[in-house]
Amino acid sequence: MLRLGRREFEPREPVVMAIVNRTPDSFYDRGATFRDEPALARVEQAVAEGAAIIDIGGVKAGPGEEVTAEEEARRTVGFVAEVRRRFPDVIISVDTWRAEVGEAVCEAGADLLNDAWGGVDPGLAEVAARYGVGLVCTHAGRAEPRTRPHRIEYDDVVADILDVTVGLAERAVALGVPRESVLIDPGHDFGKNTRHSLEATRRLGEMVATGWPVLVSLSNKDFVGETLDRPVKERVVGTLATTAVSAWLGAQVYRVHEVAETRQVLEMVASIAGHREPAVARRGLA
């Protein structure tokens, strides 16, 4: 059972996490939700389309202008509080690697801390434990935040992913984070080249076999773009194909830009796998 905020999810129940970037320079939407009004509209749309989790980020993942902890908090804390007020039942996640930002957003009502940089600040897990919120434990190849990989090598990338993410998850639980609120994430693109991310996808079942709920953040990423030789705005088809494979292999949470399309893919895979009844079944019966 996965428990986040006020919600509980069965082991095979897919969960959509919608991305809402509070940044002026995000790689995909180029700042479309930097201001409050469009960001709140995005939340409303995502919830209406079936997102259970809203993931709010105040710093883009890639290199760029420095964003201090104070500025990151300014972009996220008040917004978290407003989303909490308007959508009391939605699960609010914040994408941050900084303990001080984690503390501030938990005070404002966050339910989940999405640590995409692999525990670079060990204090973030301590914050999650203190507030009793969830934590995403990600493999980032031991990279520093906001850096791109350069000629990175692994003897076995999936073995490294398992070692890091399970280690972070076990540490979080030992600190007091509720076990049912801890997820592991292979960290596609983070500290990896395209072949590493493809292998992580192909062998995702090994992560699922650990028993920890698996979150995948695939949406329009560079490994999709390089695999198909497509620019950012033409990666949706590749993203959805990777989503389908990940769903078949047992991932549970999907961090995405396209909520409605992702939900259809997840429902179709679940029905093929026999975990979900068709919405309508009239063919050959009437």
Give me the active site residues, please.
221, 255
Q: Residues 219, 19: contact at Cβ < 8 Å?
A: yes
Give the strand pairing for 91-95 and 253-256.
Answer: unpaired
The Cβ of residue 59 has, within 10 Å, a number of other Cβ atoms equal to 28
Q: Residues 64, 146: contact at Cβ < 8 Å?
A: yes
Q: What count of residues does the chain have? A: 286
Q: Which helix (H) or strand (E) holds 55?
A: strand 53-57
Q: Residues 236, 261: contact at Cβ < 8 Å?
A: yes
Q: Which helix (H) or strand (E) holds 19?
A: strand 15-21
Residues near 40 by Cβ (< 8 Å), separated by ≥ 6? Answer: 82, 83, 86
The Cβ of residue 130 has, within 10 Å, a number of other Cβ atoms equal to 14
What single letter denotes the amino acid at residue 248? W
Q: How far apart are CA 4 and CA 73, in angstroms?
A: 22
Per the structure block, which two tokens stand in for 272? 């093929």
What is the secondary structure of 119-158 as a DSSP string? SSSTHHHHHHHHHT-EEEEE--TTPPTT----S---SSHH
